Amino acid sequence: QVTLRESGPALVKPTQTLTLTCTFSGFSLSTSGMCVNWIRQPPGKALEWLARIDWDDAKYYSTSLKTRLTISKDTSKNQVVLTMTNMDPVDTATYYCARIRTISCSGDYWGQGTLVTVSS
């Protein structure tokens, strides 16, 4: 059974760096075809993709946010970490980690999401 769970601070101050951890089970990120993404959703708004990391350590970032994002993986801990620098109130959102199915990535599973509020 595949599960993903996001963890991190519920509240961060403007200009701080956000660190989110996705802890997963039921698969290994060292297996070909495995990819983990981060997606966010501001309250009442649409989904916005942030970043993806693949089994071979390939990394992809949102064009508009790439200067602020870093994605990494710890295969031994079954974790993927996303850092986002210089947080702003507009970054308030529910942050999801997910496997999204496409040609080169198998399966489609989502975590429950974690709400991050940016406020002083």
Using CB under 8 A, list all residues that contact another protein.
37, 39, 46-49, 52, 60-63, 96, 98, 100-103, 108, 110-113
d(CA 51, CA 65): 9
Beta carbon nearer to another protein, 79 or 100: 100
Count of C-beta atoms within a 10 Å radius of residue 74? 12
Beta carbon nearer to another protein, 75 or 109: 109
Beta carbon nearer to another protein, 62 or 79: 62
How near is the Cβ of 15 to another protein at its closest, in Å?
A: 26
d(CA 116, CA 51): 17
How near is the Cβ of 76 to another protein at its closest, in Å?
A: 26
How near is the Cβ of 14 to another protein at its closest, in Å?
A: 24
Q: Which residue in the block uniquely carries the two structure tokens 């769970």? A: 5
Tell me which DSSP letter residue 17 carries: P
Beta carbon nearer to another protein, 14 or 26: 26
d(CA 45, CA 87): 18
How near is the Cβ of 111 to another protein at its closest, in Å?
A: 7
Tell me which DSSP letter residue 16 carries: P
Q: What are phi and psi of 89, to 5 degrees?
A: -55, -30
